[in-house]
Structure 1
Amino acid sequence: MSLTDAVLSGAAPDELARAPLPDSFTAAHLRVEDENIFAGTESADKDVRRSLHVGQVPTPELAPDEVLVAVMASSVNYNTVWSAKFEPLSTFRFLRSYARHGGWATRHDQPFHVLGSDGSGVVVRVGTGVRRWQIGDHVIVSPAHVDDQEPATQTDGMLSEAQLAWGFETNYGGLAHYAVARASQLVPKPAPLSWEEAASIPVCGGTAYRMLVGDRGARMKQGDIVLIWGASGGLGAYAAQLVRNGGGIAVGVVGSEQKEAIARRLGCHVVINREEIGVGADTGDDPEQAVKAGKRLGAVIRREVGEDPHIAFEHVGRATFGISVFVVRRGGTVVTCGSSTGYHHTFDNRYLWMKLKRVIGSHIANLQEMTECARLFEQGRVAPAVSKTYPLAEVGEATRLVQLNRHIGKVGVLCLAPAPGLGVTAPDLRARIGEDALTPLRPFTAATAG
């Protein structure tokens, strides 16, 4: 029996251990010879379907602290879009840089780059130095690839100088039939969830948790008003639930009437359409325009909840950052984890320094935060935000959907899982939580077609 057949048949750990490793496996990957295919092309016209390939790559040898995971499902994140567009840098540069560390890191410098920073699946091999995990364990994979022997990691893995984003700055990521991860990236899979639901957690769920709840983020309190940009997307879907679950007041900003309904379903107390406040892609280019948009937004928030927001949940970047800095209250916090509309932010600094506001940079989550986040899904307090799934063979279409911002929530990718809905190992607990509670985006699934 092949290893893949053993995994799909639910074989016992000893059978998985006896099944021979394949020499190669199917993976979504980039090719180094394509690095310049978008030369001279405007960013918006770089169609990721041209650069994303699905095919065989060789199986690497495991380092002592690594595991091989049979990936049942993964999902698309915006870093998959960046990778496939080769911007702002080709991720092959990351692989070459990592390989210069020497030793096991040299395996990552290949003429292919297997992408994917999310994953759920079954551990099928463990390195000689792995202690806490065994073959047969069901896991989700955190994207925080850190050096657990570095002193800073003992305080917070995200402070590690060697911290890398798995499947973006490393090779052998989660959009594949098999993936290589460090043992320090693993978290038990929430038993009530399917493979694709569990795979939607790590990047967006963990990132939102650190930003809002973790002691190195905004430290949201009960009653805090939280402005959430993109409240119907992957990050926003989890932010809205975490705010509501933590006793905060979620104010979501979205881009269409349809997404307004989605944001409310996810827990936003107030939902504002971007058109209502005049925010476009170029709003952030002029600090004066950002302040004017911020005044309009602030007026709507005060009208609806009576106060200015305590926290702005930022990941949009250039188009909205100046508005966020303006609109949070005196002493308020802007917490940011990304810049999907551009990295170079302009804002009127008077509203930051004279009103004693804070800007906090946040990136992924450390292992403790990821574990705490996953526990909320296990309890049914936060629900997966999967709206649509694609087979691995169609990962280009899935990534294109995210590239064009035509998605809601998270876009899942089935890797070895032959169909959605598999992998639930606690059906009684799932029934107690309730199918409707666990699938909040199901009524809107048709919205992601095309």
Structure 2
Amino acid sequence: MSNQPTTKDIYPLGERPPLGVVPEKMHAFCVRQDRFGEPKDAWKREVIPVPEIGPKDVLVYTMATGINYNNVWAGLGFPVDVIADRQKKGEPEDFHAGGSDSAGIIWAVGSEVENVKVGDEVVIHSGWWEPDDPWVLSGKDPMLASSTRIWGYQTNYGSYCQFTRSQSHQCQKKPKHLSWEESACYMLCASTAYRMLMGWSPNVIEEGDVVLVWGAAGGLGSLALQIVSALGG
């Protein structure tokens, strides 16, 4: 009798497969073009194939996901039809499985991945770019690269999937003092707010500055408040 764990074709939500065992299919919340409109109707739970990963990619088992306004746009199909946009670039999928904030467990790694391993607990940031982009390889700001995309909005298989595909550089160590839910909710808005406040030297927040945060009750604004406070503003 084999000691290898039996792989199911798909695992119910809440049932974690043995570490490193990748099923053929997974549950995911998806949008399709014929459902574009009110997001509560556009997003539906479906069963889709688990994606293949490239040499610099990782497959992450999703423990928790955050919600970002970009996937309201994806559900509306406006201002961009993200499905049609990717199909123009040669991607075959006729669905968008979104989600740009995630915390989870590394489940599989590509052949060239060195910074993380199966079993690591990570938070995923949403900056995606082509691995061979010369702008990025030259050490310049990746967010200004022509190949940069917002993961889980402009790319497929985001955090609304049981198994999400990301690039290995997107994976940051999960803070031990935060729960899965806490770890999954902050990265996109926090990094955006920090870049807005501290990314444009010399126009950065300094101790004693008076700062007006417009829309402070939202995800971006609430994290901007905390960053300003931490910087002494």
* TM superposition shift of 1:34: 2.9
Partner of 1:27: 28
* TM superposition shift of 1:220: 1.1
Q: Structure 1: how far apart are the matches of 2:114 and 2:88?
A: 29
Q: Structure 2: how far apart are the matches of 1:34 and 1:226?
A: 41
In structure 2, the CA distance between the partners of 1:191 and 1:204, relative to structure 1 (3 Å rule), is same
RCO higher in 1 or 2 (8 Å CA, sep ≥ 6)? Answer: 2
* 1:396-444 Cα deviation digits (max 9, x unpaired): xxxxxxxxxxxxxxxxxxxxxxxxxxxxxxxxxxxxxxxxxxxxxxxxx
Aligned counterpart in structure 2 of residue 73 of structure 1, from 64, 68, 90: 64
Q: Is the 8 A contact 1:213 1:219 kept in 2?
A: yes
Q: Structure 2: how far apart are the matches of 1:136 and 1:217?
A: 41
In structure 2, the CA distance between the partners of 1:98 and 1:143, relative to structure 1 (3 Å rule), is farther
User: What TM-score results when the alignment is normalised by the length of structure 1?
Assistant: 0.47
Q: Is the 8 A contact 2:66 2:186 kept in 1?
A: no
* TM superposition shift of 1:129: 1.1
Kindly indicate whether residue 231 of structure 2 is the aligned counterpart of residue 246 of structure 1: yes
Structure 1 residue runs of 4 or more that deviate by more than 2 Å after TM superposition: 1-5, 32-35, 213-218
* 1:23-72 Cα deviation digits (max 9, x unpaired): 1101010113334xx4xxxxxxxx21111111111112111110000011
Kindly indicate whether residue 95 of structure 2 is the aligned counterpart of residue 112 of structure 1: yes
Q: Structure 1: how far apart are the matches of 2:94 and 2:186?
A: 30
Partner of 2:176: 191
Partner SS for 1:161? coil
Partner SS for 1:57? strand
Letter of the 1:121 counterpart: G
Partner of 1:49: 40
Partner of 2:124: 141
* TM superposition shift of 1:98: 3.6
User: What TM-score results when the alignment is normalised by the length of structure 2?
Assistant: 0.88
Partner of 2:19: 16
Q: Structure 2: how far apart are the matches of 1:218 and 1:110?
A: 42
Letter of the 1:167 counterpart: G
Letter of the 2:84 counterpart: R
Q: Structure 1: how far apart are the matches of 2:63 and 2:203?
A: 34
Partner of 2:85: 94
Kindly indicate whether residue 222 of structure 2 is the aligned counterpart of residue 237 of structure 1: yes
Q: Which runs of 5+ in 2 are unaligned?
A: none
Partner of 2:75: 84
* 1:108-155 Cα deviation digits (max 9, x unpaired): x30111010111000000011111110001111111111242232221
In structure 2, the CA distance between the partners of 1:16 and 1:58, relative to structure 1 (3 Å rule), is same
Q: Structure 2: how far apart are the matches of 1:240 and 1:94?
A: 35
Aligned counterpart in structure 1 of residue 154 of structure 2, from 165, 169, 189: 169
* TM superposition shift of 1:225: 1.4
- Bigger Rg over Cα: 1
* TM superposition shift of 1:214: 3.0
Q: Is the 8 A contact 2:35 2:41 kept in 1?
A: no
Letter of the 1:195 counterpart: W
Partner SS for 1:16? coil
Partner SS for 1:113? coil
Q: Which runs of 5+ in 1 are unaligned?
A: 39-46, 100-105, 249-450
Kindly indicate whether residue 106 of structure 2 is the aligned counterpart of residue 123 of structure 1: yes
Partner of 2:163: 178
In structure 2, the CA distance between the partners of 1:216 and 1:70, relative to structure 1 (3 Å rule), is farther
Partner SS for 1:70? strand
Comparing 209-218 with 197-206, greater Cα deviation is found at 209-218
**Structure (1/2) with the larger helix percentage:** 1
Q: Structure 2: how far apart are the matches of 1:94 and 1:196?
A: 31
* TM superposition shift of 1:221: 1.1
Aligned counterpart in structure 2 of residue 226 of structure 1, from 211, 227, 230: 211
In structure 2, the CA distance between the partners of 1:131 and 1:141, relative to structure 1 (3 Å rule), is same
